[in-house]
Structure 1
Amino acid sequence: MSSDISYKNALKNRLESFAQGDNRQILSLENHIPFQVAVVSNLLSISRDPIIRSLTDLDTRELRILVNIGSYGPITASDIAYQTRLDPYSTTRAIAALIKKGLAQYVQGQEQTRSKPVELSEEGRCIYAKVTAHLQNREEKLLETLTPDEQSTLRQLLQKLEINAEAVLAKEVQHCESVGDSVTRDHKEIVRWHSRTTKKDT
């Protein structure tokens, strides 16, 4: 009960920062889901975690790529970009940086191409183990006020939101192209991701 009261008080204090005037046409950000998701994402950014910073000096992007390789490797750069939703150029640069630092390596016995899978080195796996142990501990603390059913529902909703966001962005890119507006390589990558997500089984 005390935890519930504490949560309600914290929420009340937080919402007071969103107090608006009489203009009801103003976007109500405290109820705007994309804004709420972005705020939570900002709070949970690896770069803001002091314990992570004590474990490694990798920048945020390099660390995200390292964790992805550790969880799904051997994996190609294009697959990493698709899973992390980072642009391919930044993904490739981060992989190159990890390889230069001796934390990742190309899979041996395969021709070295842009699509060659990468995996963590022994040193990279050591950092991965420390970082993921902390991330799992932080997740437990973050979700401790949610019931198992709420946690399951949250995961399902976030997955749906991601797929919907991809679809909306892809359609916007296609619309811009159809009316002659310029789009970037990153925009076109979203369309490729959407095609990959929605492909039918053969």
Structure 2
Amino acid sequence: MPTEAQALELEKFLPYRLSVLAQLVSESLHDLYAGPFELSVTQWRVMAALGRFAPLTASDVGQRIVMDKVAVSRAVASLMKRGLVERATDLDDRRRASLRLTEKGRTVHAQIVPLALKYEADLYQALSAEERQALNSLCDRLFAHAKLLRSGP
């Protein structure tokens, strides 16, 4: 006998909730830096990755910020045109190029980081210190398990 299909309560479905929360947070943070610095979400993510981990290849940046190559490539090209990012050819492998923030890029990065950290602190005010710690621990576990599920058995 066939079973009745389960109903998907979208508003309670964890992947949906995480996606909507991420979008809302990303858009709210974007509102803080978009106007003054004329950066898209992808451009800021590229700069944030380079500000923390440079030098990186464009492929490395894409993996760090979990965005596709085309979006990263466009963002890098735009940031290079604006003088915020520079590319250097790897001396050991001429086919490989690493990216880093320019002096101008580091200045912009240094101006946005406090805005981002203040936004994070404001967001965290909805949680107690214990809840923040628990959330961070749970996020770490969900990230690790999601990566495991993505890679398959």
In 2, are the aligned partners of 1:103 and 1:121 still within 8 Å (CA)?
yes
In 2, are the aligned partners of 1:103 and 1:123 still within 8 Å (CA)?
yes
Aligned match of 1:139: 120
Q: 1:97 to 1:111 in 2, by over 3 A?
A: farther
Runs of 5+ consecutive residues of structure 2 not aligned to the other structure: none
The size of the alignment, in residue pairs, is 150
Post-superposition offset of 1:114: 5.1
Q: 1:99 to 1:112 in 2, by over 3 A?
A: farther
In 1, are the aligned partners of 2:30 and 2:40 still within 8 Å (CA)?
no
TM-score by length of 1: 0.64
Instruction: Give the CA RMSD over aligned residues.
Output: 2.6
Residue aligned with 2:96, SS:
coil
Q: Which runs of 4+ in 1 moved over 4 A?
A: 111-114
- Matched to 1:33, the amino acid is L
Post-superposition offset of 1:168: 2.1
Residue aligned with 1:106, SS:
strand
Q: 1:82 to 1:126 in 2, by over 3 A?
A: same
- Matched to 1:89, the amino acid is V
Aligned match of 2:105: 124
Runs of 5+ consecutive residues of structure 1 not aligned to the other structure: 1-23, 175-202
Q: Does 1:58 align with 2:31?
A: no
TM-score by length of 2: 0.83
Task: After TM superposition, list the pairs within 5 Å mapping 1:31-46 onto structure 2.
Answer: 31-46=12-27
In 2, are the aligned partners of 1:77 and 1:114 still within 8 Å (CA)?
no
Post-superposition offset of 1:66: 1.1
Q: 1:35 to 1:42 in 2, by over 3 A?
A: same
For residue 159 of structure 1, the aligned residue among 121, 140, 150 is 140
In 1, are the aligned partners of 2:90 and 2:98 still within 8 Å (CA)?
no
In 2, are the aligned partners of 1:78 and 1:115 still within 8 Å (CA)?
no
